[in-house]
Structure 1
Amino acid sequence: MKVKKESSRIVKPTYNGKTHPSNPGFIPLSVFDKVTYNTHIAVIYAYRPPTPPNVTLELGLQKALSVYREWAGRLERDDIGNSIILLNDEGVKFVEASVNGTLDEAVSFKPSASLLALHPCLKGVVELVQVQLTRFTCGSLVVGFTAHHLVADGQSTSNFLVAWGQACRGLDIGPLPTADRAIFPRRDPPCFEFEHRGVEFTSNKLVKKDYPVIVEDVVVHKAHFTLEFLAKLKQKASSENSGPYRKPYSTFESLVAHLWRAITKSRALDNSKTTYVRISVNGRTRLNPRVPKDYFGNLVLWAFPSAKVQELLREPLPYAAKLIHDAVAKVNNNYFKSFIDFANYKVEEEDLVPTAYMDKSSLCPNFEVDSWLRFPFYDLDFGGGCPYVFMPSYFPTEGMMFLLPSFIGDGSIDAFVPVFQDNLATFKQVCYSLD
């Protein structure tokens, strides 16, 4: 696929035809912003014709940026070195591109390096959002979107994308984002109820550079799990969790337990090794009082269920499902508030850095799951209907998995699972088996 870049420019917010406010201001990053991944994340949307013209998407983007000003700003530091988002309305990158061919001829939407041509590069970018509109001769449109994770998590980013679509359709943007990042006060005196060293943070002195793995050795497998398979999997995972006061494990818990075991088996690890799963936990419903769903920023911590390889593979599926359920349940209101205190009082004092970083080529013997199952990514409608394909870009980090609702729309789930080429055959055999 040969993508021709037609133009590239900066798009800035519009305020009812006026220029940006005279006082730029800034927003300090919260402790949840600072602990997440310091990188751009890219996603791909595909739309069948008819699609609105590029100018409609550009004007809608300008309106959406006037509500979500952070995206048009820049990451900076204040006079004492604190990380901030400078609300200077410098704008976002807007690229127009084309392919001399139809969408079906040019793009298979299988996870591969060819997807990287459908969005701007993620490295060395000062803009906090980048957009690429790629047109095809059949009238189809692919929207490549990248956003800096320090500014917002998946919930917030998907809310912004829905707002962009609303603006393109001439609708009022709503609900409006809750933009106050100073709503997480530290306690005085602090209360460190949980250990956060070696969990969200590690010593700066212990950080080691990862030895790169040849990208060709990793293949991203898209596994499709039907609604019927998921129902049977959930039943199997919950088979030992019966009783009047016990609920079955969720589809998410059941599927992650299944994939954890499948990935571990395909890796042929030593039985004595310990393996863990890094699972994102949304704090909006965990904190008390609850944080609005429309809070804009990062509000995610992680659960880390772990097990010895021998036990994980020897015990039946309910064993792994219980480990996941119990670990996620522990990331509750008390845990979040303990983290807030620790991040405010101890991180700078002990020279700690986040454990969330994207420069690894392999997570083995561990793996990470990023669930987009409950985010409204599929609701991005520019005026021609919702996308028929939504997916992450190509992230060939072995063990970093994404879960998405299938574009079929029947409740099935797609898992994008990067594995070593030598382990692929075993993984495919195990991941589609209920035995």
Structure 2
Amino acid sequence: MDSHHPSIRRISECFVKPKFLPQQSNQPYHLIPGDLAMLSAHYIQKGLLFPKPSHLINQSPHPFMLHLLHRLQNSLSIALFHFYPLSGRLSTVSNDQQSSVSIYVDCLNSPGAKFIHAALDITISDVLSPVDVPLLVQSFFDHHKAVNYDGHTMPLLSVQVTELLDGVFIACSFNHAIGDGTSYWNFFNMWSEIFQATSSDGDEIISISQPPILKRWFPDGIGPIINLPFTHPDQFISRFEAPELRERIFHFSAESIAKLKAKANSECKAKEISSFQSLSALVWRSITRARRVPENQISSCSMAANNRGRLDPKLSENYFGNVVTSVKAEAKAGELVERGVGWAAWKLHEAVVQNTNEKLRKALDKWMESPFTFQLGRFFDQYSVLMGSSPRFNKYGNEFGMGKAVALRSGYANKFDGKVSAYPGYEGGGSIDLEICLLPQNMANLESDLEFINSISSPPHLSFNHDL
């Protein structure tokens, strides 16, 4: 962090646990193959920026903040009753005869989830006005650079509430070996629902509209204990350090995305290409051009796929765990750039169509024969683009007594040259924000790419001082 910026102050930290645990928490909470594959990745780090009610901005001391923190901790404790594995820690059992280990969540021997109150003397516009996302946003998140395996000694969930001069940033660092983006946002949505339904002191366990399904899903003949053929963490855990990246948020209005979709479908004489496939195709082509990739070099675009509805029988959307894989399309850079956005979108569409129950189960069988973890440094090359997160998640529906958030931001985790995260746009209605991370020269080239720049829209104007 450079010397021009004020630095973050940690005011307090504590641990939060459910007031009591459900009976089943006495048992080991087993991890499914998709969870174990995530042990070497970073935590999920996402958070929301809220405006402080304007009549409270210059109040000192801050009864508003004290009341907010009390209510956040109280509602978090209730949320952790429903999502009790998040208050546990990882535990490893070594099987010396088989030279293997099994890893599970111990829900009892843990101090709970971490809760941090911090402050930073900057304003909302200091976060949102610069062209690039400022590096200091990374300080809004705990567990900086932690990998999920660190959940043996670190909390599986850490919440940091950072008070700005005119706003509040609520951030979660959530162990990705416990759940994927669908699980993460279900937790965040239910925490918000509980916050809105409880008074500051109510500690009753309230029912929630989408309780997580914590019963473990294993394919036939697999689990609940999965032995990983390793004897030391170094065999399956590596620590990825991102190079210096520029990170920008680009806004696409619903109208701009509709045009892209119409163009892609008309070029392919098709109707099936989706809005998101069209947008991903634009990004894939534009980044490939920006990188000045040699014509014969293979370039790939992967999209994160939630497979709950793809499996047969289907899993509920409330199933808690990692049921996510990536679907991948490849093309020679020259062909990708020469042909239209429709051609690239059709390749992505085909990759999605081929993501069937049969293919998923074959991949699971293959993983069981030879288990591995996703290691960022090995799974993505300098010609790949990864579309992560999803604009379908309910991100702006989370409220904590301060009205609607004005922005969504993420931490250091899981970022590399070519990582793109898709969020719903602030105004909703099918608009999308893309958070794009690129090497500085590649970003400079993207900013002068006419096809890309002509597709983006101005973000909606936000007024920060909401009176509630």
Q: In 2, distance between residues paired with 1:65 and 1:40?
A: 18
Matching residue within 22, 45, 48 for 1:42: 45
Listed as ranges, the gaps of 5+ residues in structure 1 are 188-203
Alignment of 1:233-244 (within 5 A): 233-242=260-269
Q: TM-score normalised to the size of structure 1? A: 0.85
Alignment of 1:30-429 (within 5 A): 30-36=32-38, 38-50=41-53, 53-78=68-93, 80=95, 81-88=101-108, 89-105=110-126, 108=129, 110-124=132-146, 126-138=154-166, 140-169=167-196, 170=198, 172-186=207-221, 214-215=243-244, 218-242=245-269, 246-344=270-368, 346-347=369-370, 352-354=371-373, 356-359=374-377, 363-394=381-412, 396-429=415-448
Letter in 2 for 1:184: P
Q: In 1, distance between residues paired with 2:176 and 2:240?
A: 24
Letter in 1 for 2:214: A
Q: For residues 224-264 of structure 1, what are the alpha-carbon distances to aligned partners after superposition, in whole Å with 9 as ceiling and x for unaligned?
A: 2222221111111111333xxx5241110001011100000
Q: TM-score normalised to the size of structure 2? A: 0.79
Contact 1:402 1:417 in 2 (8 A): yes
| More moved, 362-371 vs 148-157 | 362-371
Q: For residues 28-86 of structure 1, what are the alpha-carbon distances to aligned partners after superposition, in whole Å with 9 as ceiling and x for unaligned?
A: 11011122363212112111234761000000000100110110011112354212111
Q: For residues 404-434 of structure 1, what are the alpha-carbon distances to aligned partners after superposition, in whole Å with 9 as ceiling and x for unaligned?
A: 1111324321111112212223212322236
Q: For residues 365-417 of structure 1, what are the alpha-carbon distances to aligned partners after superposition, in whole Å with 9 as ceiling and x for unaligned?
A: 11111032111222222233332212222455111110111113243211111
Percent identity of the aligned residues?
24
Contact 1:166 1:173 in 2 (8 A): yes
| More moved, 49-58 vs 317-326 | 49-58
Matching residue within 6, 10, 15 for 1:10: 15
**In 2 relative to 1, CA 406–166 (structure 1 residues): closer, same or farther, beyond 3 Å?**
same
Contact 1:213 1:362 in 2 (8 A): no
**In 2 relative to 1, CA 59–205 (structure 1 residues): closer, same or farther, beyond 3 Å?**
closer
Superposition RMSD in Å: 2.8
Q: In 1, distance between residues paired with 2:356 and 2:388?
A: 19
**In 2 relative to 1, CA 359–99 (structure 1 residues): closer, same or farther, beyond 3 Å?**
same
Q: Could you tell me how far 1:280 is from its partner in structure 2? A: 1.2
Letter in 2 for 1:150: A
Contact 1:11 1:94 in 2 (8 A): yes
Q: For residues 250-301 of structure 1, what are the alpha-carbon distances to aligned partners after superposition, in whole Å with 9 as ceiling and x for unaligned?
A: 1100010111000000101111111111211111110111111100111011
Q: For residues 10-40 of structure 1, what are the alpha-carbon distances to aligned partners after superposition, in whole Å with 9 as ceiling and x for unaligned?
A: 111113xxx7769632111101112236321
| Partner SS state of residue 312, structure 2 | coil
Q: In 1, distance between residues paired with 2:442 and 2:25?
A: 55
Letter in 1 for 2:36: K
Contact 1:186 1:341 in 2 (8 A): no
Letter in 2 for 1:32: G
